[in-house]
Amino acid sequence: MNEPLAERLRPRTLEDYLSQQHLIGEKGALNRQIKNGNIPSLILWGPPGVGKTTLANIIATESGRPFYTLSAINSGVKDVREIIEKAKKSDGLFTTKNPILFIDEIHRFSKSQQDSLLGAVEKGWVTLIGATTENPSFEVISALLSRCQVYTLKPFSKEELIALLERAMREDPVIKSRDVHLKETEAILRLSGGDARKLLNIFELLVTSAVAPVTITNDLVLEQVQQNTVLYDKTGEQHYDIVSAYIKSIRGSDPNAAVYWLARMIEGGEDVKFIARRLLILASEDIGNANPTALVMANNTFQAVTTIGFPESRIILSQCTIYLATSPKSNASYMAINQAQSLVKKTGNLSVPLSLRNAPTKLMKDMGYGDDYQYAHNYENNFKEAEFLPEEIKNTNFYNPGNNQRENSQREFLKKRWKGKYGY
């Protein structure tokens, strides 16, 4: 068989679809819509190998609708318009079952390409299903996004991945003929990273390159995968592994490793905005107030590379990467919002102190809204100690400045103002 194992095992029905039970399980919203035949235009958002294309095919099959598919990598406005014209001509035949147009990697469509879909989606000539690994809030134009439901697909769980391997041993003729025994799974699951396609690629490589009977062990997995790393590079499935190494190298203040991983992404044809967005996130999460200019630098980088594109953007990305890697680091702001959100989830909607409430009406003023609020600018150094948290959590500390020049100055500022409150 020339088809890869992942293709041979591709589910054809909802019953065979192992994952995404939050969407297609008995109580999943998408399950109900498919069974009712009331399928909206939608965007499937999730990492590689979680079943976006498979789910789109199943939706089309289960609903009995005509199915057109395009890849954003090699399709243009002309291709979109041709399919829309076909859909319009078939409208008389499929009045209650308009065709489904599936666009893989829709985030790679330009604004004009996405614009070309608006009329057909709005008029119901087609039901659009877009698949993307990127956050649709950034990559899908707002007009199109407002006409679509967004569904998030999750990486496969450990149990689901093992079940997939067992299905391959049970149902696939090639795998069955090799007499495979699954002794250890830690290494193959770790290397798959929740990506079912990657898991099955590795599994097929192991099974077909070994002498039957085949016993899968951690040592066998690591030995064979290390000898065949190029196989996985070609498929682009190291996308998330490489960006992870890139971010961790910057966080670890290693500009040399960071530039190497940047080069790997550039040479692999990575989306310039994908890289720049990661730098924006890192500038706040890992540097923060240790060097506030890092966020300014990352934002300017995002704007610049979005305008310029490759190949020149590689220089701008390299400059920003090296700047962030050699900047002092602090995750204090990141930890502060994490702790604050955690407390909000535990304590719920605590009342805003009366002194801090807005009083736009006489009734609210009569009820005491805004009473005793002390306007900071009326006091020396523009500061007056007051309580700004709800009574139930007063004096709670969320922000602990990092140990660096800028945040040490912040700590001294807070000590002088709050004199021991919040632990400063």
- Consecutive sets of 10 residues in the chain, 424 residues long: mean pLDDT of each? 83 85 84 81 89 90 84 78 78 60 88 87 88 86 90 89 92 89 89 84 88 87 65 48 88 90 84 91 93 95 89 92 93 90 84 75 70 78 81 84 85 82 71
0.75 cut: is pTM over it? no
Last residue of a domain, one of 325, 342, 367: 325
Domain that holds residue 197: 158-235
Q: What is the CATH number of the domain that holds 108?
A: 3.40.50.300
SS3 of the chain: the string is CCCCHHHHCCCCCHHHCCCCHHHHCCCCHHHHHHHHCCCCCEEEECCCCCCHHHHHHHHHHHHCCCEEEEECCCCCHHHHHHHHHHHHHCCCCCCCCCCEEEEECHHHCCHHHHHHHHHHHHHCCCEEEEEECCCHHHHCCHHHHCCCEEEECCCCCHHHHHHHHHHHHHHCHHHHHCCEEECCCHHHHHHHCCCHHHHHHHHHHHHHHCCCCEEECHHHHHHHHHHCHHHHHHHCCCHHHHHHHHHHHHHCCCHHHHHHHHHHHHHCCCCHHHHHHHHHHHHHHHHHHHCCHHHHHHHHHHHHHHHHCCCCHHHHHHHHHHHHHCCCCCCHHHHHHHHHHHHHHHHCCCCCCHHHCCCCCHHHHHCCCCCCCCCHHHCHHHCCCCCCCCHHHCCCCCCCCCCCHHHHHHHHHHHHHHCCHHHC
- Asked if residue 84 and residue 60 are part of one domain, the reply reads yes
- Asked if residue 147 and residue 24 are part of one domain, the reply reads yes
Query: What's residue 288's pLDDT?
Result: 92
Last residue of a domain, one of 128, 152, 176: 152
- Asked if residue 360 and residue 307 are part of one domain, the reply reads no
- Asked if residue 259 and residue 231 are part of one domain, the reply reads no
Query: What's residue 424's pLDDT?
Result: 65
Last residue of a domain, one of 217, 235, 253: 235
- Asked if residue 366 and residue 418 are part of one domain, the reply reads yes
- Asked if residue 201 and residue 99 are part of one domain, the reply reads no
- Asked if residue 253 and residue 230 are part of one domain, the reply reads no
- Asked if residue 296 and residue 174 are part of one domain, the reply reads no
Q: What is the CATH number of the domain that holds 167?
A: 1.10.8
Query: What's residue 246's pLDDT?
Result: 92
- Asked if residue 126 and residue 70 are part of one domain, the reply reads yes
- Asked if residue 195 and residue 254 are part of one domain, the reply reads no
**Into how many domains does the chain fold?**
4
- Asked if residue 75 and residue 135 are part of one domain, the reply reads yes
- Asked if residue 126 and residue 43 are part of one domain, the reply reads yes
